[in-house]
Amino acid sequence: MTKVIIVGAGIGGLTAAIGLRRAGLEVKLYEQRTDPRMIESGGGMVLQPNAMRGFQQLGVADQVAAAGSVLERFEWCTPKGNRLAGWPVGEVARKVGAPMVGIRRMKLQGALTGAIEDGALELGAEVTGFSEDAGGVTVQLAGGAEERGDLLIGADGINSTVRSLSLGPWTEPRYAGYALWFGITEVDGSAADPTFRELDGPGARFISFPVGGREVYWSAIANAAEGTIAEGGGAEIEGDKEMLLRRHAGWAPPTESLLEATDPSVIYRREIADRDPIKKWGAGRVTLLGDAAHAMTINLGQGACQAIEDGVVLTNCLAAEDDPIAALRSYEVKRIARTAPVVRRSRMIGEMGQWTNPLACRVRNQIQRVVFPTVAFREFKQTMAYEFPPAPEPVSPRVSRPASG
Ligand SMILES: Cc1cc2nc3c(=O)[nH]c(=O)nc-3n(C[C@H](O)[C@H](O)[C@H](O)COP(=O)(O)OP(=O)(O)OC[C@H]3O[C@@H](n4cnc5c(N)ncnc54)[C@H](O)[C@@H]3O)c2cc1C
């Protein structure tokens, strides 16, 4: 039986682990954090139908959808609330057979972690190195332990150790020129409006959508010089709420009411970065997955969705090929072609979002009015209808060997 070692229990690593175990492979998943739910604590995200279709193949879509809110509409407006464009995403979702879901990141991580029951996941385990030989790959852990497997998957995020060890040291990620403040609050009523709403102003944007029941996630994006917006949040950062209320004063509902209602101790912030697409993700028994392979900006809401697709495609390729190394190369060919344009498109949209010149912003509004309902909507529908390679028959999970050393 092929044994796969995965580094990183983010959304990508967890998805791959669930898929591979379901396909009957042995999996060992190492995560340096002691609680993977704490990644991006407090944040929310959108899981688009392409990702939810992947989760359907892995049998976890229902749990995930139940933990969030099903979204029906996307809407782009000016800061005053004049509508620029809208998409009936609920209709698209029904056509492709999977919902668009807004969800708390912690709940998603919890649902995925819960689907890996029997010791495959080892927490507080930092992978520091690996070596490969004709018979397999040996992974080194901080503290001196080692683990042997047949394949190694680096799902260890934008600053991937596996990537730097296998493809050569990386340079720092490319700072996108803007930062994001985010929080979650409850709204009145029985359930939040199932709309993803984005207000686009000069060099600043405000996004909101429900993430389960009456909870609404919001994010405020603005141009910022690199290194001026330290990552973090909560009690350490004072004054962010007042600054956001000043920046978005007079913006259309629900901007100010969401900011007002948010406890300042759950406002977080983060600078946005990506990497140029690369043409090689691995060699021999090693490959990459998720942000480690294709870190992208936030603008298409596809970073995690593509990581989920990666996990499903990797599973399907390994199940289809007798030679696991050939399966990794076949996975890479499929996924490099899929993800590189998404990275580029996401970057381009972010660059337009940074425009501050009033004339340029009027041109951008016009582009949104014309391009979003036509070309962009067509592209969106194509992205949602991504065709996965054929899925393997599920096999009952096997218990992993305990980590050696
Ligand atoms: C503000 C924000 C909003 C976003 N919104 C969306 C959205 O709405 N929709 C969407 O699809 N995407 C969104 N994204 C992108 C998405 O969050 C990422 O693309 C996704 O989380 C990447 O998952 P990953 O598993 O590849 O990497 P990560 O989530 O970075 O996970 C990597 C894991 O590896 C672990 N690790 C790292 N090094 C080691 C090591 N040496 N040993 C062991 N473990 C290690 C880390 O601790 C971490 O747990 C957003 C991103 C941001 C920043």
pLDDT tens string, the chain, 405 residues long: the values are: 899 999 999 999 999 999 999 999 999 999 999 876 665 556 999 999 999 999 999 999 999 999 999 999 999 999 999 999 999 999 999 999 999 999 999 999 999 999 997 789 999 999 999 999 999 999 999 999 999 999 999 999 999 999 999 998 878 999 999 999 999 999 987 778 999 999 999 999 999 999 999 999 999 999 999 888 766 666 556 789 999 999 999 999 999 999 999 999 889 988 999 999 999 999 999 999 999 999 999 999 999 999 999 999 999 999 999 999 999 999 999 999 999 999 999 999 999 999 999 999 999 999 999 999 999 999 999 999 999 998 888 886 544 444 433
- Is residue 241 domain-resident? yes
Q: Which residues contact 81 (CB under 8 A, 6 or more apart)?
A: 199, 252, 253
Span from the CA of 201 to the centroid of ligand 1 (angstroms): 28
Q: Which atom of ligand 1 is nearest to the CA of 125?
A: 43
Q: Are residues 344 and 299 in the same domain?
A: yes
- Is residue 115 domain-resident? yes
- Is residue 338 domain-resident? yes
CB neighbour burial string for 270-288, b if at least 16 within 10 angstroms, e if fewer: bbbbbbebeeebbeebbbb
pLDDT at 403: 40
Amino acid in the structure at residue 303 = G
Q: Are residues 239 and 102 in the same domain?
A: no
Q: Are residues 164 and 248 in the same domain?
A: no
pLDDT at 398: 44
Which residue minimizes the CA distance to atom 33 of ligand 1?
8
- Select from 45, 71, 269 the residue to mutate for testing ligand 1; criterion: most ligand atoms less than 8 Å from CB: 45
Q: Are residues 233 and 314 in the same domain?
A: no
pLDDT at 103: 97
Q: Which atom of ligand 1 is nearest to the CA of 33?
A: 47
Q: Are residues 121 and 205 in the same domain?
A: no
Which residue minimizes the CA distance to atom 37 of ligand 1?
156
Q: Are residues 37 and 112 in the same domain?
A: yes
Q: Which atom of ligand 1 is nearest to the CA of 295?
A: 19
pLDDT at 229: 77
pTM of the predicted model over 0.85: yes
- Is residue 86 domain-resident? no
pLDDT at 192: 82
pLDDT at 41: 57
Which H, E and C letters describe the chain, residue by residue? CCEEEEECCCHHHHHHHHHHHHCCCEEEEEECCCCHHHCCCCCEEEECHHHHHHHHHHCCHHHHHHCCEECCEEEEECCCCCEEEEECHHHHHHHHCCCCEEEEHHHHHHHHHHCCCCCCEEECCCEEEEEEECCEEEEEECCCCEEEECEEEECCCCCCHHHHHHHCCCCCCEEEEEEEEEEEEECCCCCCCCEEEEEEECCEEEEEEECCCCEEEEEEEEECCCCCCCCEEHHHCCCHHHHHHHHCCCCCCCHHHHHHHCCHHHCEEEEEEECCCCCCCCECCEEECCHHHHCCCCCCCCHHHHHHHHHHHHHHHHHHCCCHHHHHHHHHHHHHHHHHHHHHHHHHHHHHHCCCCHHHHHHHHHHHHHHHHHHHHHHHHHHHCCCCCCCCCCCCCCCCCCCCC
Q: Are residues 154 and 68 in the same domain?
A: yes
Span from the CA of 10 to the centroid of ligand 1 (angstroms): 5
- Is residue 388 domain-resident? no
Contact 306, 281 (CB under 8 A): no
From 207, 242, 273, the end of a domain falls on 273
From CA 274, how far away is CA 175, in angstroms rounded? Answer: 7
Which H, E and C letters describe 373-387, residue by residue? HHHHHHHHHHHHCCC
Contact 371, 377 (CB under 8 A): no
Q: Which atom of ligand 1 is nearest to the CA of 126?
A: 42
Question: Sign of the C-alpha dihedral, residues 45, 27, 291, 183?
Answer: positive
Q: Which residues contact 351 (CB under 8 A, 6 or more apart)?
A: 177
Q: Are residues 267 and 187 in the same domain?
A: yes
CATH of the domain at 337: 3.50.50.60
Q: Are residues 31 and 144 in the same domain?
A: yes
What residues flank ligand 1, with Cβ below 6 Å?
Answer: 7-13, 30-33, 36, 39, 43, 45-46, 126-127, 155-157, 161, 180, 270, 290-292, 298, 301-305, 307
Q: Which domain holds residue 138?
A: 3-74+98-172+276-356
Contact 60, 311 (CB under 8 A): no
pLDDT at 394: 84
The domain total for the chain is 2
Span from the CA of 40 to the centroid of ligand 1 (angstroms): 8
- Select from 5, 11, 217, 299 the residue to mutate for testing ligand 1; criterion: most ligand atoms less than 8 Å from CB: 11
Which residue minimizes the CA distance to atom 50 of ligand 1?
298
